Structure 1
Amino acid sequence: MSLVSALSTADAAFVAVESEAESLLPAARRGEFDAALALRHAGPRRVKLRYEVVGDLSQPVVFVAGGISARRHVTANSADPSRGWWDTQVGTDRAIDPTARCIVSFDWIGADGALDAPIDPADQADAIVALLDHLRIRRLHAFVGSSYGAMVGLQLAAKHPSRVQRLVAISGVHRAHPYSSAWRALQRRAVQLGALQCDGVDGLVLARQLALLSYRTPEEFEERFGAAQVVDGRVHVPAEDYLDHAGQSYAARTPVSAFLRLSESIDLQDVAPETIVTPVTLVAIEQDRLVPLADAYALAQRLRGETRLRVLRSRYGHDAFLKEHEAIAAILDEALATEVAA
């Protein structure tokens, strides 16, 4: 056999294996449509809602939402075989299994940078209801939200209680803590200073780097990074390389206006826990620097429906929902299996 023939055969075998692997991915579909929303701070607007559905809509439906940088692509599927942002929890034989449940997700309104107006988390809840109506989903089996997604989930339960049977809120509560809002205000100011120098992208890179320091913990940096060194006559801190890479990657995929408006949106969070009667599982991280444990306890005490509070310890702080795979999976298994009165 010639070398060319051997290579061709190997390539064909690789393609066959790749095709077989993709065929094992859960069935999915993507779509988009225009919706009319009455934004709380900006009035009537038409927005484009982009969604992804993984699994069969005849199964119990779970809506999954993450932080402001999370998009509709939650897990690898037949519509998009690339890794999703929460493949560790969503997928076959995982906590949220598309063979047993249908997973719905969407891009946050404002994520494409086209909506340059104040966006309240309550507006995102209204957008979710518009999507449920579009898909003819009367009621969600569950809403699972992390970070900003948890805030929006609480808004959904408060404003549209008939549309969600249970809520799992991870690292997100009923209000934005003033300390956390100050962190974000500085991040937005970094973007604005960059724009004044006609360099909004570098401003966004710096803002993301500042954000990462609030997501993670000193304990993690102590383990990962060493002491400063003198390189070419300047002091270099090892963590800089990590921050540079993360900031550049984020800026490459995020419109500046999207970051600004969604960052502001977190600070607009304001929901009265007493208005929520939906059963809620709260997950708090003891080391979370953005969502203090005291706020999670206060929320748990004020909710009016059945409430469970699970507290984890993690060196990953606010990002624990992305890193503590086994602990989060165990909580999701418990929360989604719990029987809820119709």
Structure 2
Amino acid sequence: MSDARQYFKLPSPFAMKRGGALHGAHVAYETWGSLNAARDNAVLLLTGLSPSAHAAANDADPSPGWWEGMLGPGKAIDTRRWFVICMNSLGSDKGSTCPASIDPATGEAYRLSFPDLSLEDVANAAHALVAELGIAQLASLIGCSMGGMSTLAYMLLHPGSVRTHISVDTAPQAQPFAIAIRSLQREAIRLDPHWNNGQYDNAQYPDIGMSIARKLGVITYRSAMEWNGRFARIRLDPEQREEQPFGLEFQVESYLQGHAQRFVRTFDPNSYLYLSRASDWFDIAEYGNGSVLEGLKRIQIEQALVIGVSTDILFPLEQQEQIAEGLRAAGAEVEFVALDSPQGHDAFLVDIDNYSRAIGGFLARIQ
């Protein structure tokens, strides 16, 4: 398969918000559509914790992307009109410099010597990429989940660089429930003996810790309504059950196990730890003297679409309302969409029809 992934070398040294700097670092990205002569039709998409920059199929890589139903010719994010860029977060192992990358100073992987990562660093890397592409102002900036927090940082740190914003299932700061879940995920990885203070390899790899972390994540990405509807209390057939004491017995357990097995070796554990903690640290109130509303009021854009889901327990609907209220107070024309999708936080990846209607409608109205 051909690779659509491109790489942008970040300015070196690339200073990090919480101290330290990266040398010779880069971020991976992909693009769709064409930049027009006025260079004013660019849309930047920032992702959640685990996706790559491959949001949709393109000429160089026809394989389906993580937001395939949303992005492409004639779709909600119509690549016949928009030049779309999707960047893999700094710190992610899907092509960008991360803890698994080689530290040029030592010739060995950074591991835990990687500087503390913040979502502001992700935002600054994205802004540097956009500037390198010759784009002074984005037509729209879209952020999903963790990427939504990164986009808030982007707009705060680089005023005037964005005309419109689409906020998808995100938060202006992590709430205690989200922090608690991510803390447990990190603990599961750190307590796996094979994690070995970040010094694992393919032979001694924290499979169990990563598996538990993924299961915890999947539980919070969907809603109780979804779990009840899909699995109820259905038990596995006897031949599917595990023989050992307390082994898998219910279908929902088997589902989580399958999800975990598919994920475990596809994401670097140290990168997972760094991005997870960066999500906990992000707090827009830092920019508003302790007030989320005052922090949001510093964002200067023309229009915004804020989408949330009533069944999202990780990024609850009241946090989307908070973002909408703050952007309105800042002077933006804000459209707020509350969906009742049963899929919880993952709805933006699953309920493509409803999200397409909101996002496609909003982008169509941009002059």
CA RMSD of aligned residues (A): 2.2
TM-score by length of 1: 0.86
Structure 1 window deviating more from structure 2 (310-319 vs 288-297): it is 288-297
> Which of residues 27, 30, 47 is equivalent to 2:6?
30
Q: Does the CA-based 8 Å contact 2:16-2:115 persist in structure 1? A: no
| 1:228-239 matched pairs, under 5 angstroms | 228=235, 231=241, 232=243, 234=246, 236-239=249-252
> Which of residues 129, 136, 139 is equivalent to 1:138?
136
Q: Secondary structure at the match of 2:358?
A: helix
Please list the CA deviations of residues 26-67 of structure 1 after superposition, one character each: whole Å capped at 9, or x if unmatched: x96733324332211133223211111212122611111221
Please list the CA deviations of residues 94-141 of structure 1 after superposition, one character each: whole Å capped at 9, or x if unmatched: 111212211101111111243633221111110111101221111111
* Aligned residue number for residue 333 of structure 1: 360
* Aligned residue number for residue 173 of structure 1: 171
> Which of residues 43, 53, 59 is equivalent to 2:20?
43
| 1:153-232 matched pairs, under 5 angstroms | 153-195=151-193, 199-225=205-231, 226-228=233-235, 231=241, 232=243
Q: Does the CA-based 8 Å contact 2:5-2:28 persist in structure 1? A: no
Structure 1 window deviating more from structure 2 (300-309 vs 125-134): it is 300-309
Change (3 A) 1:219 1:141: same
Q: Secondary structure at the match of 1:35?
A: coil
TM-score by length of 2: 0.81
Cα separation, 1, equivalents of 2:63 and 2:116: 32
Q: Does the CA-based 8 Å contact 1:168-1:280 persist in structure 2? A: yes
In our comparison, the structure showing a higher alpha carbon Rg is 1
* Aligned residue number for residue 258 of structure 1: 271
Give the counterpart letter for 1:31 in structure 2: Y
Change (3 A) 1:195 1:41: farther
* Aligned residue number for residue 298 of structure 1: 322
Which structure is higher in helix share? 1
Cα separation, 2, equivalents of 1:258 and 1:277: 32
How many residues are treated as equivalent by the alignment? 316
Q: CA deviation at 1:316?
A: 0.6
Q: CA deviation at 1:196?
A: 5.6
Cα separation, 2, equivalents of 1:215 and 1:102: 30
Change (3 A) 1:31 1:197: closer
In the alignment, structure 1 segments of 5+ residues that lack a partner are 1-18
In the alignment, structure 2 segments of 5+ residues that lack a partner are 100-109, 197-204, 285-294
Q: Does the CA-based 8 Å contact 1:217-1:317 persist in structure 2? A: yes
Cα separation, 1, equivalents of 2:174 and 2:5: 34
Q: Does the CA-based 8 Å contact 2:309-2:345 persist in structure 1? A: yes
Cα separation, 2, equivalents of 1:321 and 1:266: 19
Q: Does the CA-based 8 Å contact 2:8-2:129 persist in structure 1? A: no
* Aligned residue number for residue 243 of structure 1: 256
